[in-house]
Amino acid sequence: MKITRVEAIPFAIPYRKPLKFASGEVHVAEHVLVRVHTDDGIIGVAEAPPRPFTYGETQAGIIEVIDKIFAPQVVGLSLLERETMAARLARTVGNPAAKAAIDMAVWDALGRTLNVQVSELLGGYTDRMRVSHMLGFDEPAAMVAEAQRMREQHGITTFKVKVGRRPVSLDTAVVRALREGLGDDIELYVDGNRGWTASESAAAMKEMADLGLLFAEELCPADDVLGRRWLVSQLDVPFIADESAVTPADVTREVLAGSATAISIKIARTGFTHSQRVHHLAEGLGLEVVMGNQVDGQLGSICTVVFGASYRLTSRRAGELSNFLDMTDDLLTEPLEIHDGELTIRPGAGLGVEIDPDKLAHYRQDT
């Protein structure tokens, strides 16, 4: 079970339409496939989606740090030496997606070696999650039409709405149109990606007070310490800390400061090992948890549902698992399918998925 090699393979798959939000927009999934090889001939896989406007990582940077720094640190370790691995990777600051992908590929390799599903290794609570679909910036009619299509074709009834534009009425009008167009039987919440000030956020939430929102997420920057505390203190819905609360220390700081009352776990930035720590802390603090999405492809999305389905707390709410539907293609041999608003884990050892070699050859960027 010793690691013999770590590969970082760049690939690029276009989106059908750009996903736009307050901190940036994405036109092409320029991701990195990470493969961990062992001396038993096992290969574990994971996906690293760089988000330079949030975490500072790029596709080229992920490849460089894995090839030059991380791979030499983990080659020779056993798949069971995850704490040693985490300690070695932690010597290098930042690079969350690169670290997370290595961690998840190791878990996949371990599951394949033991002939056990990763979800069983993690907790095995259930085999599925409800799906939340993320709606990026567009005109109200277009966003309502997209939500209606997702409900009709995939049974999705929970929607995360990107907000953060100025004037705030641009976004409050969209949320109102979604509620009026889709009715009261759907769940809606908003994510500002730090686009508004605290006062703008308060005004927007007051304007949407009658729309039955589930959550508000990262409406204003966490660096606006007093403003965010003031905002959270007056909200009557849980306030999700996302990019401001990545590590257990971040979560503790934000919650104790009164700057958040719920958190988003994204395995694309904390892997399985560190996401476990965040989950256990949230459980102990009694926080609501949403499984988030880093605009992942299908491999990243199956990793999210594998982790989220492993625990009662993370499977309680709909997870952000559907943005791969906006991609023109993907790398898996058997594409993921959302039925009746749910995504299930795959049978089989590890993550239960395989990479299509022909698709990888077509989309990889290093040949």
Report which of 347, 290, 337 is spatially closest to residue 315, judged by C-alpha positions.
Answer: 290
Q: CB within 8 A of 349, min separation 6: which ones?
A: 111, 112, 114, 115, 116, 117
Which residue in this structure is represented by tokens 């929607």? Answer: 159
- As given in the structure block, the two tokens for residue 287 are 């926080």
DSSP code per residue over 100-169: HHHHHHHHHHHHHHHT-BHHHHHT---SEEEEEEEE-S--HHHHHHHHHHHHHHH---EEEEE---SSTH
Cα dist from 10 to 4, 199, 268, whole Å? 20, 41, 16
Residues linked to residue 288 through DSSP beta bridges, in sequence order: 262
Report which of 360, 362, 297, 341 is spatially closest to residue 101, judged by C-alpha positions.
Answer: 297
Catalytic positions, please?
162, 191, 217, 242, 266, 294
Q: What is the DSSP letter of 275?
A: H
Beta strands in 22-108 (DSSP E): 24-38, 43-48
Say how many CA atoms lie within 13 Å of 125 toward its Cβ.
14
Pairing of strands 24-38, 3-21: antiparallel
Which residue in this structure is represented by tokens 């389905």? Answer: 309
What residue type is 9 in one-letter code? I
Rounded-to-integer distance, Cα 19 and Cα 308, Å: 24
